[in-house]
Structures are given as structure tokens and as C-alpha cells.
Amino acid sequence: MPRFLLNNEPTYSVKRLLLASIIWWTFWTLLQTIVLHRLELEWNVAFIDSVVSNILLSLLGFLMITIYRFYQPGKNARFFRFVYAIGITLLYCVALKWSLSSIVPGKLDYLDFLEKSMPIRFICALFILSFITILNWLWNIMKDQKEKDERRSEAEQLVKEAELVKLRQQLQPHFLFNSLNSISALAGSKPDEARKMIQQLSDFLRGTLKKDEQRTVAVEEELEHLGLYLDIEKVRFGHRLNVEIEFTDDALNQQIPPLLLQPIVENAIKFGLYGTIGDITVKILGKAEGNLLLVKVINPFDPETQNVGKGTGFGLSSIQRRLFLLYGRNDLLATEKNQEQFITRLKIPQV
């Protein structure tokens, strides 16, 4: 069933277009009648001439539009379109001359006028039909460009989603391997803690799979999932690891890409604990500011051991790449370090 029969709004649009066409056709016919009368044709003959010529031109214009609707020449076939317009115009002139000669017979002065006016009628009809052809050509170019843009946008979105999935998958294995190694170490000496860690790891991975299809989640939900990760790390490192999480109430309702904080906190724990035997404290702070969620992760930093066991930086660079793919900005992740602290700053736009 046609769409305009199912939706009132398109129906009104069709009615308005039809009404406008009728009004314009009537106006043009009356104007042509007046012009022909001023060229010394009788009112009735001028009116018949105008009505017949405009009906024929409207029918042939509709025929041209219908043909273009079901068959479109190639994009570069401009010459063919021009020849097609000339052919339709010649058909119009032949049909017009035959029709008016049959409807108004015996008026030699009018038939002579008709014969002499055919070149002007041909030029006017060619202009109108060429205008229809150009409009149709431009409309199809715009339509093709729109479809091409939609396909390009869809392809870019698929590539972006595939890259995001790949980044998330790359960020997880080393954490999983470390956890499994810790479970293996605990299995012999502390089997109860090993079983607890297996359960926590299971809950964490289950939550990870659940979040894979989500673009953003509430900060409160992200922190709950981060808590599962921290429970595992506390089993690994025991009393040495302390984590302080402070988020303002308005920040908890903000949105954040899922599984974004875990690799940052993992990086902070890794480099905070590396080369030390004492306790460390990792701070995770968050607040809302305007249309941004601001998150800051702080871990201890010892410049004397910064080059020992230095990582590849894959985790933070992957997070920056992920943020760029999601928000189109390169300024959403920044790091700084001083004599005692390494600070990772995040800005998450709220859209």
C-alpha cells in the first residue's frame, strides 16, 4: 500500500502539491489566453489554443517524469538527455499542430498563425522540458550522493565498531593471564582464596561480556564493575593495595564508555606497585563539570624506578584511540607526573 495512504502527513503534501499544480496550470493558461488574444486571436480560439497546448505539454512532461522514474540514463549521458528532450518537444509540436487543426478547422487566418508560431512554441516547450530534465538529473545526483554518503557512513561505523571491539579484546588478555597466574600460585598454599578469586574472575568476565554491546553506561554501574576487578587485585596483592574512590553525587549519574576505567586503574596499580615493597594507595576521583565528566586516577610514582620494567604504553594509547573513535577528539586523555605521583586525567563528553 502506498505510504501516503498509511500516513496523513504525506497525503496532505500530495494534496498541496496537486493543488499548487492546478493553480499554476490555470494561471498559466489564462495568461497565455490573454497574450494570444492581444495577438489578435478571438477569445474562444485563444482559450482553446491555450488549454490544448498546456494539456499536451503537461501530459508529455508527466510522461517524461514517469520514464525517468523507471529508467535513468548514465550519469554522463547528458547528450542523450538533451536529445530525449528534443524528441519529446518534436512530438509535442506534431501533436499540438494536429490537435488544433482538428479542433479549429476552417479558420485560415488562425491556421496560418499556428504555422508561423510553431518555432516559438517549439523553443518554449523545449525550455520547459529541458528544465524538467535538468531538475530530474540534479535530483538523481543528490539522491545517489545521499545513498553513497549513507553507505560510506555505515561502512565507517562498522569499521569503527570493529576497531573498538578489537581494542577491548586486546586490553583484557594480560589481565586475565595475571589473574590465572595468581590463582595458580594460590591454589597450593591458599585454596580458599584461589576459589574466591576464580569466582570473582568469573563475575568480572561475565560483566565484561554483558557490556560489550553498550556504547555508554552510568558511572555508578561502571564503578560497580570496577569493584569486581579491584576485589581480584586485592586478593593478588593483599594489604599492599589500597584504593580510594571519590565521586560526587552528580558524577555518578553521568555516562561513560564501558570498561574504560579498569585498564587505567590496572595501569596505575601495575606501576604503583612495581619496584616497591610497601603499601600504596590508588585514588580514583570524579566530578561533573558542565557537559563533561572529569575523572582523575592518581598512583604513586618513583622516578628512580620509572625505567625499570617500563611498559609499552599500549593500555593508555588504546584508551586514547577508543575515545577518539567514540567522540572524535584527541584531548580527552592526558597524563602528568611529578616526583611522587603519576596522574591520569579523563574528560568524557556528555552527549
pTM of model > 0.75: no
Evaluate if residue 180 carries a pLDDT over 90. no
Residues 293 and 73: their CA atoms lie apart, in Å, by: 54
Q: What is the dihedral of CA 158, 164, 169, 172, to 10 degrees?
A: -170
Give domain 172-349's CATH architecture: 2-Layer Sandwich (3.30)
What nine digits make up the cell of 115? Answer: 504555422
More confident residue, 63 or 343: 343
Least confident segment among 3-7, 158-162, 321-325: 3-7
pLDDT tens digit string along 92-112? 888 888 888 888 777 778 888
> 3-state class of 10 per DSSP?
helix
CA end-to-end distance (rounded Å), the chain: 38
Mean pLDDT of 219-238: 84
pLDDT band at 294 (very low <50, low <70, confident <90, very high): very high
Exposed / middle / buried, residue 333 (Cβ in 10 Å: 0-12, 13-18, 19+): buried
Evaluate if residue 76 carries a pLDDT over 50. yes
pLDDT in the model for residue 288: 92
pLDDT in the model for residue 309: 45
pLDDT tens digit string along 10-45? 455 667 767 777 887 788 888 888 888 888 788 888
Considering Cα of 34, then 38, then 39, then 40, what sign does the dihedral take? positive
More confident residue, 263 or 303: 263
Mean pLDDT of 279-300: 91
pLDDT tens digit string along 107-154? 778 888 888 888 888 888 888 888 888 887 788 788 878 888 887 777
Estimate to the nearest angstrom the gap between the alpha carbon of 93 and the chain centroid. Answer: 49
Least confident segment among 30-44, 215-229, 230-244, 311-325: 311-325
Residues paired with 297 in a beta bridge: 284, 344
Cell 579523563 maps to which residue?
346
Mean pLDDT of 321-335: 86
Mean pLDDT, rounded, of the chain:
78
pLDDT in the model for residue 39: 81
pLDDT tens digit string along 238-282? 788 899 999 999 999 899 988 888 888 888 888 888 767 778 889
Residues 42 and 132: their CA atoms lie apart, in Å, by: 32
Q: Torsion-angle region of residue 290: left (phi > 0), alpha (psi -120 to 50) or beta?
A: left
pLDDT in the model for residue 210: 59
More confident residue, 121 or 168: 121
pLDDT in the model for residue 127: 86
Exposed / middle / buried, residue 255 (Cβ in 10 Å: 0-12, 13-18, 19+): middle
* Domain ranges across the chain: 3-157, 172-349
More confident residue, 236 or 13: 236
pLDDT in the model for residue 312: 43
pLDDT band at 165 (very low <50, low <70, confident <90, very high): low
pLDDT band at 3 (very low <50, low <70, confident <90, very high): very low
More confident residue, 325 or 171: 325
Q: What is the DSSP string of 89-136?
A: HHHHHHHHHHHHHHHSTT-HHHHHHHHHHHHHHHHHHHHHHHHHHHHH
Least confident segment among 233-247, 272-286, 298-312: 298-312
Residue 245 has phi, psi (to 5 degrees) of -115, 120
Cell 604504553 maps to which residue?
313
Evaluate if residue 8 carries a pLDDT over 60. no
Residues 100 and 54: their CA atoms lie apart, in Å, by: 12
More confident residue, 343 or 4: 343
